[in-house]
Amino acid sequence: MNYNVNEKGYYGEFGGAYIPEMLYPNVEELRQNYLKIMIEESFQKEFHQLLKDYVGRPTPLYFAKRLSEKYNTKIYLKREDLCHTGAHKINNTIGQILMAKRLGKTRIIAETGAGQHGVATATVCALMGLECIVFMGEIDIERQAPNVARMKMLGAKVVPAKSGSKTLKDATNEAIRDWINNPVDTHYIIGSVVGPHPYPDMIARFQSVISEEIKKQLNEKEGRENPDFVVACVGGGSNAAGAFYHYLDKPEVGIIAVEAAGKGIDSGESAATSALGKVGIIHGSKTLLMQTADGQITEPYSISAGLDYPGVGPMHANLFTSGRGEFISITDDEAMIAGLNLCKLEGIIPAIESSHALAIFKNRKFKKDDIIVVNLSGRGDKDLDTYIKYFNL
Amino acid sequence: MNRIQQKLSENKKLLSIYFTAGYPKLGDTVEILQQLEKNGVDIVEIGLPFSDPLADGPTIQESSQTALKNGMTTDLLFEQLKDIRKKVSIPLILMGYFNPVLQFGVENFCGKCAEVGIDGLILPDLPLAEYEENYAAIFKKYGLINIFLITPQTSEERIQQIDSASEGFIYMVSSASVTGSATGFGNEQNDYFQRIALMKLKNPLVVGFGINNAETFQQATKHTSGAIIGSAFIKMLSEKGLDGISTFIKTIR
């Protein structure tokens, strides 16, 4: 079975481009050109040069000795937290800004939840001298003041999304509306492997540098390219898509996707889309999403702002329903404890998103000689307030 | 002949009104439809509210949110429309986003539409290719006309494809915008209306987005068969309620 996108833009039954006609010319332009542009030698050269010199890649693959001892298995951490701007998000924004330039676009829009993708977008726009507008839910603007300030310092305009629930899904709606209103000069940099085809595939390809590096680095350290398991947290799913990408068609590598259970799957305050979602359409993609029986999209909850998206990328929906991926959900409490645990054992303060991936070891047992790579998608600086409040630090 | 096709064959400039079902009050649907017919409106689009209306500006977003808060659901709308064909005879179109239809079940939804006397559907985020591959046969089985949108950016080649897949009218989005945002039409729109009219498509053209008074209605219909008013009508409802309908329609034509 193939777990990548097919020529029609679907992963199994998921994906496609369910967009109003107003967006068709832009999305179609991108669909027709993205692969052509990505394989151009000049594109590859510029992309990899920037990843190396600007982002700081390759990021280390670090053997977490004390963590491994605690759980009696071999755990490697892929240190995406060491990327410039503090998370894997910039791999995608570098790729997309180069794409936008080659498509002749001069104005960049983006959505952001916690602000990480907004900061990564504002950063590359500053780098390239392009106008940048970031849509952010009004509630998130209040919750994430430092990231709002960072975006402003980087020259971006932050526009509050005041519609609906005033969070990530509404910021995405507002960005899409802006694109409808500005169909000629604007490129929309989506931050996760969501949205209409070709976005999920394009973004997965930009993020696939993560698993490309893991293969090489693991080979150096262990004499084999394939770990027994690769683990990543999933909100929309971009860091997971990047970490899984080169292992999708390798059945000997177990794929573990970790979702946010919030206060518990049955608590009514959760973001565990695979457990709670049904097939539907969100932001132009057919996927699993949390919704009412009547098809109204519901608001998810997680202590981690990067995981509270009511849908999941179509690649992951397919990994779930096909059984290729093992999906585990982790509560707020489990994630916070796992995050603090990593600080104490390894001297690394993880983003709360990544803490979800680290939390699986408490209940999911592995063999002593299993090699497990956990994608440490981001660093915890942005989450200090949450850590402080949670642990009364 | 479907009621939409029949109406289009009358040689007049059609006035079509969009409103969100369940707004301003949950139980207003039937009363609004009756008043629109009484005041000479030719076609009505009944909006099925959705939590995340991507193509809509603030006015329709707010009316949708209010309608959902009031308790509007797909089931309830069909219940309200149960006897509508005993009360109004003008063509009725349901307009909404695809997800609620998908959850209801496309076949089930189309069956219900046929049962209550709905003539057509506008689902802006159901793309042409998906429709043709998976749903056209179901729409046909229940005698429903699917209406597609075109915009100033739509290529001529794609307009031809849409024309050949259409059986009612083509919904011409007046400008690159979400609903309710344009302030009057300039040369750009006039050129666009004329350019598409000159393509001599088999389907009539009806213009929507940005029509809010007699002037824009006349401009929009100069080269086309009709125009749709949505946001301006909803704005009026929010200010004056159902009592304002008659006066509003009279100011348009």
Interval A97-126: pLDDT, tens: 999 999 999 999 999 998 999 999 999 999
Q: What pLDDT was estimated at residue A249?
A: 97
Residues of B in contact with A298 (CB under 8 A): 51
Residue B182 has pLDDT above 80, yes or no: no
Q: Is residue B2 part of a domain?
A: no
Residue whose C-alpha is closest to residue A290's, from A313, A304, A274: A274
- Length of chain A (residues): 393
State mean pLDDT over B96-118: 98
- Window A:260-319, CB contacts with B under 8 Å: 278-284, 291, 293-298
Q: Is residue B7 part of a domain?
A: no
Q: What pLDDT was estimated at residue B12?
A: 93
Residue B110 has pLDDT above 90, yes or no: yes
Contact A282 B173 (CB under 8 A): no
What span, in angstroms and rounded, lies between the C-alpha atoms of A67 and A56? 25
pLDDT per residue over B12-71, tens digit each?
Answer: 999 999 999 999 999 999 999 999 999 999 999 999 999 999 999 999 999 999 999 999
Q: Is residue B5 part of a domain?
A: no
Q: What pLDDT was estimated at residue A164?
A: 80
Model ipTM value: 0.95
From A24's Cα to the closest Cα of chain B, the distance in A is: 8
Q: What pLDDT was estimated at residue B184?
A: 84
Q: Is residue B31 part of a domain?
A: yes
Residues of A in contact with B103 (CB under 8 A): 278, 280, 291, 293-295
Q: Is residue B8 part of a domain?
A: no
State mean pLDDT over B123-131: 96
pLDDT per residue over A244-277, tens digit each?
Answer: 999 999 999 999 999 999 999 999 999 999 999 9
Q: Is residue B36 part of a domain?
A: yes
Contact A297 B51 (CB under 8 A): yes
Residues of A in contact with B99 (CB under 8 A): 280-282, 291, 295, 297
Our measurement of the distance from residue A292's CA atom to the centroid of its chain's CA atoms, rounded to an integer in Å, reads 25
DSSP tag of A14: E
State mean pLDDT over A87-103: 98
Catalytic residue among A74, A78, A80, A111: A111
Q: Is residue B161 part of a domain?
A: yes
Contact B74 A16 (CB under 8 A): no
What CATH code is carried by the domain that includes residue B222? 3.20.20.70
Contact B52 A169 (CB under 8 A): yes
What span, in angstroms and rounded, lies between the C-alpha atoms of A21 and B131? 13
Q: What pLDDT was estimated at residue B108?
A: 98
Residue B187 has pLDDT above 80, yes or no: yes
DSSP chain B: --HHHHHHHSSS-EEEEEEETT-SSGGGHHHHHHHHHHTT--EEEEE---S--TT--HHHHHHHHHHHHHT--HHHHHHHTTTGGGT--S-EEEE--HHHHHHH-HHHHHHHHHHHT--EEE-TTS-HHHIIIIIHHHHHHTTPEE--EE-TTS-HHHHHHHHHH-SS-EEEE-SSS-TT---S--HHHHHHHHHHHTT--SS-EEEESS--SHHHHHHHHSSSSEEEE-HHHHHHHHHHGGGGHHHHHHHH-
Smallest CA–CA distance from B171 into chain A, residue: A21
Q: What pLDDT was estimated at residue A386?
A: 94
Q: Is residue B229 part of a domain?
A: yes
Q: What pLDDT was estimated at residue B253?
A: 86
Tokens of B58: 């603030």
Average pLDDT over chain B reads: 96
pLDDT per residue over A302-360, tens digit each?
Answer: 999 889 899 999 999 999 999 999 999 999 999 999 999 999 999 999 999 999 999 99
Residue B86 has pLDDT above 90, yes or no: yes
Tokens of A182: 């500005």
Q: How many domains does chain B have?
A: 1
Q: What pLDDT was estimated at residue A371?
A: 98
pLDDT per residue over B152-179, tens digit each?
Answer: 999 999 999 999 999 999 999 998 888 8
Residue A87 has pLDDT above 90, yes or no: yes
Active site residue A89: yes
Confidence of residue B181 (pLDDT cuts 50, 70, 90): confident
Q: Percent of chain B scored above 70 by pLDDT?
A: 100
Residues of B in contact with A19 (CB under 8 A): 54, 125, 127
Task: Print the domain residue range for B79.
Answer: 14-252
Contact B52 A173 (CB under 8 A): yes
Average pLDDT over chain A reads: 97
A86 in Cβ contact with A379 (< 8 Å): yes
Residue B117 has pLDDT above 90, yes or no: yes
Q: What pLDDT was estimated at residue B29?
A: 98
State mean pLDDT over A201-229: 98
Contact A21 B68 (CB under 8 A): no
Q: What pLDDT was estimated at residue A320?
A: 98
Q: What pLDDT was estimated at residue B75?
A: 98
Smallest CA–CA distance from B109 into chain A, residue: A294
Residue B215 has pLDDT above 80, yes or no: yes
Alpha helices in A182-310 (DSSP H): 199-207, 209-222, 238-244, 273-276
Q: How many degrees, rounded to 5, is the angle at CA B207 between CA B205 and CA B211?
A: 160
Smallest CA–CA distance from A173 into chain B, residue: B54
Q: What pLDDT was estimated at residue A165?
A: 81
